[in-house]
Structure 1
Amino acid sequence: MKSTLGLQTVLFIVVLACILHSGSSSSSSSPKVCVLKNCDWTSTTNACARYGRSNLCNRFKNSCAMRYESCVSSSSITYTAVSLSQCSGISVGSRGTCGGSSSSSSSSSSNVTPIIIRRG
């Protein structure tokens, strides 16, 4: 059963790569094939990932979907897995501002000087 699931995953990725490659008009580069081992595509345990160095997070249905999206990304910027609490308030399949507490966001905000506007 486990080898069948692995074979199905590999076939899915190869077929998807062929479809994406045939859809591109005059691309000189070869298609990117991503092989994800030990993936349970039926898992419903959400995963959260930060996009590059930005403060944008994306909530995925599971870690396999996250790893696949990071692999097939057309740019050199990829997703980095973060705590699911960073995706609080973001629905599955959507991108939003990372939330929760993290050491990187608190250290970058310590250098911020607030601007106070007084009226009247």
Structure 2
Amino acid sequence: MKTALRLSTFLVILAMACGFLSGSSSSNSSPRICLIENCAWNSTVNTCARYGRSNLCNRFRNSCALRYKNCVSSTTYTSVNLSQCSGITVGNRGTCGGSSSSSSSSNITPIIIRRG
């Protein structure tokens, strides 16, 4: 049973990698094989991750999809709290924290410099 599950997981990953490579327009890109073990690909527990160092978050269908994206992408995703992806649908990228950014800036106190 475990062998069949591992084989099917490997085939899914290989198929995704082939699809990724066939859609790539760069001739200099080297192929990557992503072996992601012990992953529940059928899970529907969403995961949220920050894109690189930006303020953009992406909602993934599950943690396996996030791990795969980190493998094939040149920019890494960092897992964050799912609440950061409020208002973002699965498979899409948006501003982290949803549309209201006032809560993240409420602790900022302006510095006023008076001269003369």
TM bucket by the smaller chain? 0.7 to 0.9
Query: 1:15 Cα deviation (Å)?
Result: 3.3
In the alignment, which of 79, 82, 85 is matched to residue 84 of structure 1? 82
% identical aligned pairs: 66
| Cα root mean square deviation, aligned | 2.7
Equivalent residues in 2 for 1:1-120, closer than 5 Å:
1-21=1-21, 27-73=27-73, 76-99=74-97, 106=104, 110=108
Q: TM-score, normalised by structure 2?
A: 0.74
Partner residue in 2 for 1:117? none
SS of match in other structure, 1:92: coil
Q: Measured at CA, do residues 27 and 3 of structure 1 come closer, stay the same or move farther in structure 2, by a change above 3 Å?
A: same
The alignment covers a number of residue pairs equal to 106
Runs (5+) with no aligned partner, structure 1: 114-120
Q: TM-score, normalised by structure 1?
A: 0.72
Q: Measured at CA, do residues 48 and 20 of structure 1 come closer, stay the same or move farther in structure 2, by a change above 3 Å?
A: closer
SS of match in other structure, 2:33: coil
